[in-house]
Structure 1
Protein backbone atom coordinates (compact mmCIF):
# COMPACT_ATOMS: atom_id res chain seq x y z
CA UNK A 1 0.00 0.00 0.00
CA UNK A 2 1.48 3.43 -0.93
CA UNK A 3 2.22 6.01 1.78
CA UNK A 4 0.10 9.09 2.06
CA UNK A 5 1.30 12.53 0.94
CA UNK A 6 1.15 14.03 4.43
CA UNK A 7 3.58 11.51 5.78
CA UNK A 8 6.10 12.26 3.02
CA UNK A 9 5.87 16.01 3.57
CA UNK A 10 6.40 15.58 7.31
CA UNK A 11 9.56 13.57 6.64
CA UNK A 12 10.89 16.17 4.25
CA UNK A 13 10.17 18.92 6.78
CA UNK A 14 12.19 17.04 9.38
CA UNK A 15 15.07 16.63 6.94
CA UNK A 16 14.98 20.32 6.05
CA UNK A 17 14.98 21.31 9.71
CA UNK A 18 17.91 19.00 10.43
CA UNK A 19 19.99 20.45 7.59
CA UNK A 20 19.10 24.02 8.63
CA UNK A 21 20.17 23.35 12.22
CA UNK A 22 23.40 21.71 11.09
CA UNK A 23 24.57 24.79 9.15
CA UNK A 24 26.34 27.34 11.35
CA UNK A 25 24.85 30.80 11.24
CA UNK A 26 27.20 33.60 10.25
CA UNK A 27 27.70 36.26 12.88
CA UNK A 28 28.94 39.65 11.78
CA UNK A 29 31.92 40.83 13.78
CA UNK A 30 31.70 44.22 15.47
CA UNK A 31 33.71 47.23 14.43
CA UNK A 32 36.34 47.13 11.76
CA UNK A 33 35.56 50.55 10.36
CA UNK A 34 38.04 53.07 9.10
CA UNK A 35 37.97 54.88 12.45
CA UNK A 36 39.50 52.08 14.50
CA UNK A 37 43.19 52.34 13.55
CA UNK A 38 43.52 56.12 13.89
CA UNK A 39 41.53 56.07 17.14
CA UNK A 40 43.58 53.42 18.92
CA UNK A 41 46.86 54.98 17.81
CA UNK A 42 45.71 58.42 18.98
CA UNK A 43 44.42 57.20 22.35
CA UNK A 44 47.58 55.19 22.97
CA UNK A 45 49.84 58.12 22.14
CA UNK A 46 47.80 60.42 24.35
CA UNK A 47 48.30 58.00 27.24
CA UNK A 48 52.06 57.89 26.67
CA UNK A 49 52.26 61.68 26.31
CA UNK A 50 50.23 62.14 29.51
CA UNK A 51 52.73 60.02 31.44
CA UNK A 52 55.74 61.79 29.92
CA UNK A 53 54.34 65.23 30.73
CA UNK A 54 53.50 64.08 34.26
CA UNK A 55 57.00 62.77 34.94
CA UNK A 56 58.83 65.68 33.31
CA UNK A 57 56.83 68.68 34.48
CA UNK A 58 53.83 67.50 36.44
CA UNK A 59 54.79 69.46 39.53
CA UNK A 60 54.64 72.76 37.60
CA UNK A 61 51.22 72.14 35.98
CA UNK A 62 48.48 72.98 38.51
CA UNK A 63 45.83 70.40 37.55
CA UNK A 64 48.42 67.61 37.26
CA UNK A 65 49.90 68.50 40.64
CA UNK A 66 46.40 68.37 42.14
CA UNK A 67 45.77 64.91 40.68
CA UNK A 68 48.98 63.50 42.14
CA UNK A 69 49.57 59.83 41.40
CA UNK A 70 46.18 59.52 39.71
CA UNK A 71 48.01 60.74 36.61
CA UNK A 72 49.62 57.31 36.35
CA UNK A 73 46.19 55.69 36.30
CA UNK A 74 44.98 58.14 33.65
CA UNK A 75 47.95 57.44 31.36
CA UNK A 76 47.85 53.68 31.83
CA UNK A 77 44.07 53.69 31.45
CA UNK A 78 44.36 55.47 28.11
CA UNK A 79 46.88 52.90 26.92
CA UNK A 80 44.65 50.04 28.10
CA UNK A 81 41.68 51.62 26.32
CA UNK A 82 43.84 51.79 23.21
CA UNK A 83 44.42 48.05 23.35
CA UNK A 84 40.70 47.50 23.85
CA UNK A 85 39.93 49.57 20.77
CA UNK A 86 42.59 47.68 18.82
CA UNK A 87 40.64 44.44 19.25
CA UNK A 88 37.96 45.87 16.95
CA UNK A 89 40.42 46.23 14.08
CA UNK A 90 40.09 43.78 11.20
Structure 2
Protein backbone atom coordinates (compact mmCIF):
# COMPACT_ATOMS: atom_id res chain seq x y z
CA UNK A 1 0.00 0.00 0.00
CA UNK A 2 1.42 3.44 -0.92
CA UNK A 3 2.34 5.78 1.90
CA UNK A 4 0.54 9.14 2.16
CA UNK A 5 2.41 12.39 1.70
CA UNK A 6 3.68 14.16 4.78
CA UNK A 7 2.53 17.70 5.53
CA UNK A 8 5.02 20.49 5.47
CA UNK A 9 5.67 21.89 8.94
CA UNK A 10 6.72 25.40 7.98
CA UNK A 11 3.49 26.85 6.63
CA UNK A 12 3.37 30.64 6.39
CA UNK A 13 1.52 32.41 9.22
CA UNK A 14 -1.90 33.85 8.53
CA UNK A 15 -2.02 37.61 7.86
CA UNK A 16 -4.03 38.19 11.06
CA UNK A 17 -1.28 36.63 13.13
CA UNK A 18 1.41 38.66 11.39
CA UNK A 19 -0.54 41.85 12.05
CA UNK A 20 -1.01 41.03 15.72
CA UNK A 21 2.67 40.28 16.13
CA UNK A 22 3.62 43.52 14.38
CA UNK A 23 1.37 45.71 16.57
CA UNK A 24 3.48 48.07 18.64
CA UNK A 25 2.50 49.23 22.10
CA UNK A 26 1.08 52.74 22.40
CA UNK A 27 3.37 55.62 23.28
CA UNK A 28 3.54 56.57 26.93
CA UNK A 29 1.54 59.78 26.37
CA UNK A 30 -1.43 58.00 24.75
CA UNK A 31 -3.33 56.92 27.88
CA UNK A 32 -3.02 60.25 29.75
CA UNK A 33 -4.22 62.22 26.70
CA UNK A 34 -7.07 59.76 26.17
CA UNK A 35 -8.30 60.05 29.76
CA UNK A 36 -7.81 63.83 29.80
CA UNK A 37 -9.94 64.26 26.68
CA UNK A 38 -12.75 62.17 28.12
CA UNK A 39 -12.71 64.03 31.44
CA UNK A 40 -12.44 67.42 29.72
CA UNK A 41 -15.43 66.60 27.49
CA UNK A 42 -17.45 65.47 30.50
CA UNK A 43 -16.57 68.65 32.39
CA UNK A 44 -17.55 70.73 29.33
CA UNK A 45 -20.97 69.05 29.19
CA UNK A 46 -21.53 69.41 32.94
CA UNK A 47 -20.61 73.12 32.89
CA UNK A 48 -22.91 73.64 29.91
CA UNK A 49 -25.82 72.01 31.73
CA UNK A 50 -25.21 73.85 34.99
CA UNK A 51 -25.01 77.26 33.29
CA UNK A 52 -27.87 76.51 30.85
CA UNK A 53 -25.66 76.95 27.78
CA UNK A 54 -24.12 80.30 28.68
CA UNK A 55 -20.70 78.84 29.52
CA UNK A 56 -17.91 77.69 28.52
CA UNK A 57 -18.33 79.64 25.23
CA UNK A 58 -21.19 82.11 25.70
CA UNK A 59 -21.99 82.72 22.02
CA UNK A 60 -22.49 79.05 21.13
CA UNK A 61 -25.44 78.26 23.35
CA UNK A 62 -26.36 74.56 23.15
CA UNK A 63 -23.60 73.88 20.63
CA UNK A 64 -21.41 73.65 23.72
CA UNK A 65 -22.99 70.22 24.24
CA UNK A 66 -21.86 69.11 20.79
CA UNK A 67 -18.33 70.29 21.51
CA UNK A 68 -18.25 68.44 24.84
CA UNK A 69 -19.56 65.22 23.32
CA UNK A 70 -17.14 65.59 20.41
CA UNK A 71 -14.17 65.88 22.76
CA UNK A 72 -15.39 62.82 24.66
CA UNK A 73 -15.75 60.89 21.39
CA UNK A 74 -12.18 61.70 20.40
CA UNK A 75 -11.03 60.29 23.75
CA UNK A 76 -13.21 57.23 23.26
CA UNK A 77 -11.88 56.58 19.76
CA UNK A 78 -8.37 56.79 21.18
CA UNK A 79 -9.24 53.82 23.42
CA UNK A 80 -9.78 51.72 20.30
CA UNK A 81 -6.14 52.18 19.24
CA UNK A 82 -4.63 51.79 22.72
CA UNK A 83 -2.38 48.80 23.25
TM range (shorter): 0.5 to 0.7
Closer/same/farther in 2, CA of residues 83 and 73 from structure 1, 3 Å limit: same
Which residue pairs with 2:30 in the alignment?
Answer: 36
Q: Which has the higher contact order (CA 8 A, sep 6+)?
A: 1
Write the distance in 2 (CA, Å) between the matches of 1:51 and 1:66: 15
Which residue pairs with 1:83 in the alignment?
Answer: 76
Structure 1 residues 1-90: aligned runs within 5 Å: 22-25=12-15, 26-27=18-19, 28-29=22-23, 32-57=26-51, 58-59=53-54, 61=55, 64-90=57-83
Please identify runs of 4+ aligned residues in structure 1 that moved more than 2 A. Answer: 22-25, 27-31
Q: Between Structure 1 and Structure 2, whose CA radius of gyration is higher?
A: 1
More helix by share: 1
Gaps of 5+ in 2: 1-9
